[in-house]
Structure 1
Amino acid sequence: MQEAVIGLSHLFMTVFLCCFANFMVIPAITDVTMAALCPGKDKCSLAIYITGVQQAIIGLGSLVMPLVGKLSDTYGRKFMLTLPITFSIFPLVILAYSRTKWYFYAYYVLKTLIAMVTEGSVQFLALAYVADNVEESRRGSVFGIMSGFASSSFVFGNVSTRFLSTSATFQVAAAKSVIALLYMMVFLPESVVKYRTESTETDCLLEKPPTKTWKLFKTLPSVNDIICLLRTSPTFSKAAVVAFFSNMADVGLHASLMYYLKAQFHFNKDQFADLMIIVGIAGSISQITLTPILTPLIGDEKMLSTGLFFSCAHMIILSVAWAPWVPYAAAMISIVATFAQPCLRSIASKQTGPSEQGKAQGCITGICSFANIVSHLAFSPLTALFLSDNAPFRI
């Protein structure tokens, strides 16, 4: 295990730096949106709707993730990782320069277009990179460690935001994105897959090692490929269903939580950062220390069930928050709730051959993206309604 982690150190650092830049702006973006669209107000239906529409459009575009995954199976993980990390720099630069109304709209449009084909791709391509280099029995543990690095970046990003001005937050985030790109290009080696010749559970999918010839249309995954993957492996199909519903619930919660906390308890950038720091610390402790120990002992399936149970408990407590301290207390449940995602990805990874890890992880990400669409279309109108003056009842 130790050798596998050391061998993947440059990947972990790449994920850390990239996530650091993206997580920094999360506590600040709600205040920026509200200030640009509804200055001086703590409630703004327009901000809720425009955020929901953006996320739904991003989710629709991200359905191409199986394509991105399959291209990474053919042309390499590092090559495909370069694209989302590079494009993520440009929206940050806009808000680093100015956060007035028209600059916000420029950021909004560019961010939406770029995220349509890059959202979530760094995470699932990194998972495929791990699967290339780690044997099946250890993937759940290493997936957890990688998620722990992402959670650590979440903590450091939010701590930085807590002590930076809004303008400095976006400037530092843009600089961190550039550093992440340069670090990856210099230090991260291309992943090398040792293809097996024996048949796998997904015999209907590609069995031969991909060639390096650039024949784009021959590499496009057809709908039949994805359907075959779901039909041939019952376990993968069940993992896909769990991914859909768990992601729909998570996205629905987080899409409305910040606007609810701002309207109900007048939270601002600093309180959002404090809350996310607690979540990030809890997730980091869990994924770096507990997941590698418990997964081999208990198994991916039981760890997944435990994580989902506590994730539901977390949502229920937040939904009835009656005082400003309740979200902080509920955030501690993340120490167990974060078991779910790395275990789910590990289960999916074990159902496909070594030449199809990118497509498998991309398929799960695409399903989660579709859940994003459904979730935002459902929860954005409900959030706007219950935070408006015409709410059916007060909560």
Structure 2
Amino acid sequence: MAVSDVRILRPLVHLLVPLFIHWIAEEMTVSVLVDVTTGALCPGERSCAEAIYITGLQQTVVGVFKMVVLPILGQLADEYGRKPLLLITISTSIVPFAILAWDDSRAAVYWYFVLRTISYIISQGSILCISIAYAADVIEVGKRSAAFGWITGLFSAAHVLGNILARFLPEGWIFEVSICLLVCSTLYLKIFLVETVMVSPRQSENRSCSSIVLKVFVERWYSMKDNIFVINSSATLKCISSISFFYELGMSGISSVLLYYLKSAFGFNKNQFSEILLMVSFGSIFSQILVLPLINPLMGEKGVLLIALGASIAYGMLYGLAWAPWVPYLSASFGVIYVLVKPSTYAIISKAAISSDQGKAQGLIAGVQSVASFLSPLVMSPLTSLFISGKAPFNCKGFSILVASVSLIISLAHACLLNSENPDKPPEHETSQCGDETVEAPLLAQS
């Protein structure tokens, strides 16, 4: 994207600012959480099987509920607007972090896991999905890939600042600062974000955010089966759902145990974790904001996706086979490339869905990913715990990460079969729907 074209991002400013602040607040807690949970659950020990199992259980529960919640939130964003759903999702992290800011005892850590699980069910994945749908509302089709790259690039930039804060702030201040930033991001979004989806008087009358969510979850959850049409009507969405499933199966499995594995295998602590995350984030900013807009017109979304998936395989393999403390740093460098999986996937989904289905399509694919994030801990948690313990059948502490890498190889194989739809033509199903769009959408409007 040329410098002069940055002006196309002006409609996104009041979305990007609160998201940036929110992501900083969340990221700055990542590296310290391993030390806090391990210290509370397994005092004085370098590895903690209990923390690994609880983290895996958390991811499993989140994955189960996200299968339903993410598509519903996508529908809600289409029907009732992006802003109220964003307000709900970005505010859910405040209370869990407040628990750890108040106390870091064993009981407090358990309460944190419970409340953070609820927070993840509502916010994990949905924030990006709704944000992507918002961007699709205000950015023309030809510029969306670059715009999505900016969104994910700012996500990486937030990781950089979050990890810098985590690296240099005293551990006792991290959660307090994070809470302040989370509150600021919610207030900014409430005050400045302009809604893009027109809400009819019937929909908006006497409908608070909480009543909208309650109505959908209690009375209309069964309508989700009708929305499978959004995926079934497009060969591209079918293929990208398979790619996303296996990619998320591998990457969520790796990320859920990686820090515990590094702590056990090489004695890494908060500082090393922050250094690795910083290295990836710095490179990711460059690749997503500057490189992606340049290579996407030359290679297309499919070409970018193939390269990024190949890098993710190298990333997993090197971590799994790491034989020295410097190898994880080499492995992390491939994160600069594999981060392009997300923006290229968002662009492919956006092109394959009609305008009234943007939230549904992004939410449904995210729901498919949640199935993978539900399944991966079932294998990764016990496998990682076994191989970092003294009872491992053979000496390969990263064996579980190698297993997860197989899923990334399957994802790459599916990506080779992807035939993305021509952006100059309507998506496959749009020609048959455009005339009847007012009848088909939104599906949740049916009573």
> Do both share a fold (TM > 0.5)?
yes
Equivalent residue letter for 1:152: A
Cα deviation, residue 104, structure 1: 0.9
Quick check: 328-337 or 93-102, which moved more? Answer: 328-337
2:35 matched residue in structure 1: 31
1:3 matched residue in structure 2: 7
Q: Any unmatched runs of 5+ in structure 2? A: 397-447
1:204 matched residue in structure 2: none
Pairing 1:140–2:141 present: no
Residues 298 and 168 of structure 1: CA distance in aligned 2, closer, same or farther (over 3 Å): same
Q: What CA distance in whole angstroms lies between the structure 2 residues aligned with 1:237 and 1:225? A: 16
SS in 2 for 1:243: helix
Pairing 1:245–2:249 present: no
Listed as ranges, the matches of 1:3-152 within 5 Å are 3-63=7-67, 64-152=69-157
Q: 1:322-353, CA deviations, whole angstroms, 9 ceiling, x for partnerless residues?
A: 11111112222222211111101110111111
Listed as ranges, the matches of 1:257-296 within 5 Å are 257-296=258-297
Cα deviation, residue 192, structure 1: 3.9
Pairing 1:156–2:161 present: yes
Q: What CA distance in whole angstroms lies between the structure 2 residues aligned with 1:371 and 1:268? A: 29
Is the contact made by 2:230 and 2:357 (CA closer than 8 Å) also made in structure 1? Answer: no
Q: What CA distance in whole angstroms lies between the structure 1 residues aligned with 2:107 and 2:220? A: 40
Cα deviation, residue 137, structure 1: 1.6
Is the contact made by 2:72 and 2:224 (CA closer than 8 Å) also made in structure 1? Answer: no
Cα deviation, residue 287, structure 1: 0.6
Residues 285 and 219 of structure 1: CA distance in aligned 2, closer, same or farther (over 3 Å): farther
Q: What CA distance in whole angstroms lies between the structure 1 residues aligned with 2:265 and 2:15? A: 41
2:333 matched residue in structure 1: 332
Listed as ranges, the matches of 1:218-367 within 5 Å are 222-367=223-368
SS in 2 for 1:87: coil
Q: What CA distance in whole angstroms lies between the structure 2 residues aligned with 1:261 and 1:25? A: 17
Residues 292 and 220 of structure 1: CA distance in aligned 2, closer, same or farther (over 3 Å): farther
Q: What CA distance in whole angstroms lies between the structure 1 residues aligned with 2:38 and 2:170? A: 16
CA RMSD of aligned residues (A): 1.9
SS in 2 for 1:394: coil
Equivalent residue letter for 1:86: S
Is the contact made by 1:87 and 1:114 (CA closer than 8 Å) also made in structure 2? Answer: yes
Cα deviation, residue 212, structure 1: 4.2
Cα deviation, residue 4, structure 1: 1.9
Q: 1:270-328, CA deviations, whole angstroms, 9 ceiling, x for partnerless residues?
A: 11011100011111111111111211222111111111111111111111111111111
Equivalent residue letter for 1:84: T
Cα deviation, residue 211, structure 1: 5.2
Is the contact made by 2:25 and 2:162 (CA closer than 8 Å) also made in structure 1? Answer: yes
Q: 1:162-196, CA deviations, whole angstroms, 9 ceiling, x for partnerless residues?
A: 011222111111111001111111221112469xx
Q: Any unmatched runs of 5+ in structure 1? A: 195-207
Q: What CA distance in whole angstroms lies between the structure 2 residues aligned with 1:142 and 1:9? A: 11
Cα deviation, residue 359, structure 1: 1.1
Q: What CA distance in whole angstroms lies between the structure 2 residues aligned with 1:188 and 1:219? A: 28
SS in 2 for 1:389: coil
Cα deviation, residue 223, structure 1: 3.7
Aligned identity (percent) is: 37
**Which gives a bigger RCO, structure 1 or 2 (Cα 8 Å, sep 6+)?**
1
Residues 158 and 266 of structure 1: CA distance in aligned 2, closer, same or farther (over 3 Å): same
Equivalent residue letter for 2:236: T
SS in 2 for 1:43: coil
Is the contact made by 1:145 and 1:291 (CA closer than 8 Å) also made in structure 2? Answer: no
Cα deviation, residue 219, structure 1: 6.7
Aligned length: 382
1:382 matched residue in structure 2: 383
Q: What CA distance in whole angstroms lies between the structure 2 residues aligned with 1:335 and 1:269? A: 21
Cα deviation, residue 17, structure 1: 0.8
Equivalent residue letter for 1:283: S
Q: What CA distance in whole angstroms lies between the structure 1 residues aligned with 2:114 and 2:339? A: 32
Is the contact made by 1:56 and 1:373 (CA closer than 8 Å) also made in structure 2? Answer: yes
Residues 221 and 237 of structure 1: CA distance in aligned 2, closer, same or farther (over 3 Å): farther
Is the contact made by 2:98 and 2:175 (CA closer than 8 Å) also made in structure 1? Answer: yes
Residues 7 and 221 of structure 1: CA distance in aligned 2, closer, same or farther (over 3 Å): farther
